[in-house]
A = this chain, B = another copy of it.
Amino acid sequence: MTYIIKGDGSKEKYDEKKLAKSLKRAGADKHTIEQIKALVRKKIYNGMTTKELFGLAFREFRKLQPIVAPKYDLKGALYRFGRSGFPFEALIERILVFQGFECRRNVTSHGKAVTHEIDVKAKKGSQVLMVECKHKSKEHLTIHIQTPLYVYARFLDVKKEFTKPMLATNTKFSGHSTRYAKSVGLRLLGWSYPKDDSLQSNIEKYKAYPITMLRGITPDLLERCIKKEVLLLSDIHGKSPEQLATLLGIAFQKAKKIAEQCKVCELK
């Protein structure tokens, strides 16, 4: 029996089926899955961290299916995304637009008591969502009860203007948070939550792949992308390397590599 160490320090039995499932979800084909399983079987040792295990599988995945593999690192891409706060809000806005909402960002709303800055105001029919976005750039930072509590209280103050509160994050919600949200009617969108309508399933459904899925994206390049409102790979997909080089002010060779990686948008 081989044990791996999770990010929070706890031990877990290594489960080959779980690995295969996550690879399959990201679009790995049978051959790739078998290759990675075999490699891991050879390299794994008691006490290997999930991070090391992920790195091992990811590098092999990238060798075998370079266009598909970045989908396997969506979580990492979301952590790298939006360190400045703004891009994550923009990503959530994009997803809501895909869902048929009309959106506005950074809306000032005059509540009963005070004025609030609302990250995203999203309208569809008679529904008006008050959306609060919480981006975390480190793993294992769960959204604890305080956040849904204050989002709900804020909603109560601006209730005239909105019909429902929503809280979006790239990380997980605590059990308290999800129970509370259900009870007061706060819509949650986060990592793996809710199961059938989670952040990653929405990203996959709408191919709203964040630009941080690009291999080895530097803070400088991310900055340039954000300035040009290039947040998703689909924003630049289809552009020629020449166009990309001009748009982002980068070398042609780099632009070529980026254009190649945008092909992930063509996958079914």
Contacts and interface: CB of A to CB of B under 8 A. Distances in A.
Interface of A: 112-116, 145-147, 149-150, 152-154, 156-157, 176, 179-180, 182-184
B154 A113 contact: no
B149 A179 contact: no
A43 to B, nearest CB: 43
A179 B150 CA distance: 16
A145 B180 CA distance: 20
Contacts of A112: 183
Per assembly, the copies of the chain total 2
B153 A113 contact: no
A185 to B, nearest CB: 10
A179 B112 CA distance: 10
A27 B194 CA distance: 60
B113 A184 contact: yes
Nearest to A179: B114
A154 to B, nearest CB: 6
21 contacts: A112-B183, A113-B179, A113-B182, A113-B183, A114-B145, A114-B176, A114-B179, A114-B183, A115-B176, A116-B145, A146-B146, A146-B150, A147-B150, A149-B149, A149-B153, A149-B154, A150-B153, A152-B153, A153-B153, A156-B156, A157-B180
A161 to B, nearest CB: 16
Which 10 pairs, one residue from A and one from B, show the smallest C-beta to C-beta distance? A113-B183, A149-B150, A150-B150, A149-B153, A153-B153, A113-B180, A146-B150, A114-B180, A114-B176, A152-B153
Contacts of A152: 153
Given A112-B183, A113-B184, A114-B180, 12 more contacts: A113-B179, A114-B145, A114-B176, A114-B179, A114-B183, A115-B176, A116-B145, A146-B150, A149-B157, A152-B153, A153-B156, A157-B180
A145 B113 CA distance: 11
Contacts of A147: 150
